[in-house]
């Protein structure tokens, strides 16, 4: 069982799954799904929900690397030119990430947006992106950068955005999802499966933290994915707990999936709804040695080594606490009707703090 032992460890956790991956543009770039990396910026393909970071050493204009990421934050810089000629609706934000010292482009989540693996259409075009100093950086030092100095971050950048679409995906009576197919839109087709069936059972291992199993039908298009990113707000709210997280993403399962969240019997499993902990509705199953239940939509869960006081959270912002949950004395888990299905927005936080500078 993976444990978030401390805030430092949680902050150090970076995105790992295809659902919400953080990519870096430039010579040290992570290999992107089309194989694009380095300075080859004409064939970049990302998934909805991903983030693309551009660091100062990869800006189009940063002569002699005069500007470094340790000197780059929103106190001293602002984005002054943002000319997006195509696909602006696919971009959630373009901002300066103070913790990382970079320009960060975040893409909107859209489960219906897909692309075939070898036919990625360029649907975001950034003609020009510039930043400018708001005040002098490193004043009276040899590497001083004057106020109103403009840096060209990128130009003529083309990006294909979409979940990889596997069409057709052979429908069989019993199927086990490969980890390579997580984060893809699977188009189930009985004619491609080699078996004369109109529905089948798909089992999905979500790392070593959870498991899904449920029925799919001919013609269904389903997205399966997950990550184990920590919600830092929840970590801060419960500093005495050791917690691990599992965030499950889908465009909607065709039928209710059987869910197993791997936790010990003496641990506590909660759901996240609107950024708050709530009862998970999951029950301890000795045979599965997991907390089990049903799930139909995206959801997030927290495993804690100690019982957490969800009634102490001010959910309405009115200074009053909500204490209408009930506790199951056999498991120590809170119990409400149904399974939480809200998609948690999981913060991606860079490790370390930005040093004082300038």
Report the C-alpha dihedral over residues 241, 98, 276, 21, rounded to 10 degrees.
-90
Is 345's pLDDT higher than 90?
Answer: no
Per-residue confidence (pLDDT) for residue 142, from 0 to 100 = 79
Residue 27 confidence (pLDDT): 54
* Residue the block writes with tokens 């995206």: 298
244-286 per-position pLDDT tens digit: 999 999 989 999 999 999 999 999 999 999 889 999 999 999 9
51/72 Cα distance (integer angstroms): 18
pLDDT, tens digit (0-9, with 9 covering 90-100), for 322-335: 433 333 333 333 33
- Which pLDDT score, from 0 to 100, does residue 324 have? 35
pLDDT digits (tens, 9 = 90+) for 122-151: 578 899 999 999 999 988 777 889 999 999
pLDDT for the residue numbered 322: 40
Mean pLDDT of 56-78: 88
- Which of 178, 338, 182 has its CA nearest to residue 248? 182
- pLDDT (tens digit per residue) in 184-215: 889 999 999 999 999 999 999 999 999 999 99
Q: What is the pTM of this model?
A: 0.61
| Residue 10: its H or E element | helix 7-12
The yes-or-no verdict on residue 349 having pLDDT over 50 is no
């Amino acid at each position: 069982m993976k444990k978030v032992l401390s805030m430092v460890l949680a902050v150090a956790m970076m995105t790992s799954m295809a659902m919400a991956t953080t990519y870096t543009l430039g010579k040290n770039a992570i290999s992107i799904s089309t194989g694009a990396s380095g300075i080859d910026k004409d064939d970049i393909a990302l998934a909805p929900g991903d983030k693309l970071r551009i660091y100062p050493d990869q800006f189009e204009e940063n002569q002699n690397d005069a500007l470094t990421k340790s000197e780059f934050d929103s106190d001293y810089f602002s984005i002054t030119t943002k000319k997006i000629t195509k696909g602006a609706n696919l971009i959630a934000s373009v901002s300066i990430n103070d913790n990382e010292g970079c320009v960060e482009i975040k893409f909107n989540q859209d489960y219906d947006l897909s692309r075939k693996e070898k036919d990625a259409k360029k649907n975001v075009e950034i003609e020009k992106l510039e930043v400018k100093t708001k005040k002098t950086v490193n004043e009276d030092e040899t590497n001083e950068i004057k106020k109103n100095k403009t840096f060209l971050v990128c130009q003529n950048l083309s990006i294909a955005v979409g979940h990889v679409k596997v069409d057709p995906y052979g429908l069989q009576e019993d199927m086990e999802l490969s980890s390579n197919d997580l984060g893809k839109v699977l188009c189930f087709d009985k004619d491609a499966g080699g078996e004369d069936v109109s529905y089948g059972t798909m089992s999905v291992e979500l790392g070593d933290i959870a498991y899904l199993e449920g029925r799919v039908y001919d013609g269904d298009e389903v997205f399966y994915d997950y990550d184990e990113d920590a919600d830092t707000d929840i970590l801060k709210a419960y500093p005495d707990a050791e917690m691990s997280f599992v965030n499950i993403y889908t465009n909607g399962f065709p039928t209710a999936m059987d869910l197993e969240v791997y936790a010990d019997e003496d641990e506590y499993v909660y759901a996240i709804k609107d950024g708050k902990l709530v009862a998970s509705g999951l029950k301890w199953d000795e045979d599965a040695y997991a907390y089990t239940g049903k799930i139909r939509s995206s959801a997030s869960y927290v495993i804690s080594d100690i019982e957490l006081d969800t009634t102490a959270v001010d959910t309405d912002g009115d200074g009053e606490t909500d204490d209408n949950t009930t506790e199951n004395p056999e498991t120590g888990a809170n119990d409400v009707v149904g399974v939480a299905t809200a998609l948690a927005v999981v913060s991606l936080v860079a490790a370390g703090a930005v040093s004082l500078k300038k």
